[in-house]
Amino acid sequence: MFETMLKKHPRQLLALLAAVCLAGCITGGGGSADAGAAITRTSDPAASKDAKAVQKYLAALTRGTEPGVVAGQNAGDGPEIARFSDQVGYFSLLDGVQQSSGQTPGMVGLDYEHDSIYTPEQLSLANQRLIDHWKRGGLVTISWSPHSPWLNDERDIAGRPGEWADTQTKTHDPGRIDLRELLDPSQPRHAVWRRKLDRVATALQELQQAGVVVLWRPMAEMNGDWFWWGQASSPQDPELYKAVWRDMHRYLTGTKGLHNLLWVYSPYRGPVHTAEAAYIRPVDWAYPGADLVDVVAGVSYGDALDIADYAAYLAFGKPVAMGEYGPTLQGAASLAGSFDTTRYNQRLQQDYPAVAYWVSWHNWSIDAEQVEHQALVSQRNVTALMQMPGTITRSRVKWKAYR
């Protein structure tokens, strides 16, 4: 009977299972008040009042006691957010949506690294856009895709800023990466790693002083083998990634006194066929633990906007989101800019109602002739998307009600 229902009504059955999981995993189920409270509890006991309020707001969106889903837009890496470009930048990607629809996406995102190692001055420039968005009522998320400390010691950022390939496993000699070196004060990489953390901590402190709560998304897609911090560096031992996360959490919140951060665990989607299992692990493979994570935000691209690991995300008992979400990479729709953006609202509201927010990525050049169109403003029907009742735009964000 179950197999018949699965074949005839797959989406309806998934929604039913999700509802059951929400009742048990997130509201506590079985009379467990503590399990229900865990979704609103921050991993940093000393988190700011506003950070705790944002956590409660996201929890309410996941639980369904607050309707809708926050629309998010990544605006590039570092100072690219201040650039005037059709591929990156707040002006083009977020103000552009506002100019066409009258509404601005509720969340803005950027990466503090990835394409380059940015100087404190460059990160401060990027921060000004984030601060402005926050003060106008929006939410802020920052990814951190650090360049390898084995490739760049950051002693001369201006002269050697690196490039995006320095985040990649394939750029290294086999066996060169040992995450234990980042945690051992006797190893040279430990000093480099602390130098990197100090640099981003300075930028995050500027945001804290401005009152900005940051959904901090460091070292994402760790269950894949393409980033140096991912499973390729320790394919049989996820405890090493967990240890690096634990040390980073302790250093930024304790030593650096950053209490404006909500920590986002963001795995790539799990393997969908046997061959992928060789280089992609399940989404829970390197989960640092409930006491070190505030939000679970998956990564998935595909024209159908499927979230294959939805039930697994719910099982963590945290607010659920999509840290990166969009049409098929280098697919016909994304290359042509013809993806119907109203499908974000329709698919999430109908089939994945626990998702509190999603982030669409920025555009980028594939080669001299082709552009990957992931930004909302570059796709179809963005005005209709922003005006749909279930789409939470900047003017509709209600986290302050949870102070």
Full DSSP string of 217-272: EES--TTBSSBTTSGGGSTT-THHHHHHHHHHHHIIIIIS---SEEEEE-PBPPPS
CATH of 39-402 among 3.40.190.10, 3.40.1230.10, 3.20.20.80, 3.90.1640.10: 3.20.20.80
Catalytic residue among 276, 324, 369, 372: 324
- Identify whether 324 is a catalytic site residue: yes
Q: Where in the chain are the domains?
A: 39-402
| Ordered per-residue pLDDT tens for the chain, 403 residues | 434 433 444 444 444 444 445 545 554 444 345 556 889 999 999 999 999 999 999 999 999 999 999 999 999 999 999 999 989 999 999 999 999 999 999 999 999 999 999 999 999 999 999 999 999 999 999 999 999 999 999 999 999 999 999 999 998 876 789 999 999 999 999 999 999 999 999 999 999 999 999 999 999 999 999 999 999 888 889 999 999 999 999 999 999 999 999 999 999 999 999 999 999 999 999 999 999 999 999 999 999 999 999 999 999 999 999 999 999 999 999 999 999 999 999 999 999 999 999 999 999 999 999 999 999 999 999 999 999 999 999 999 999 999 9
Catalytic residue among 66, 113, 221, 372: 221
Q: Is 298 helix (H, G, I), strand (E, B) or coil?
A: strand
- Residue 226 token pair: 């393409």
Alpha carbon distance 378, 85 (integer Å): 12
- Identify whether 221 is a catalytic site residue: yes
> In terms of DSSP H, where are the helices of 263-390?
310-315, 332-336, 342-351, 382-387
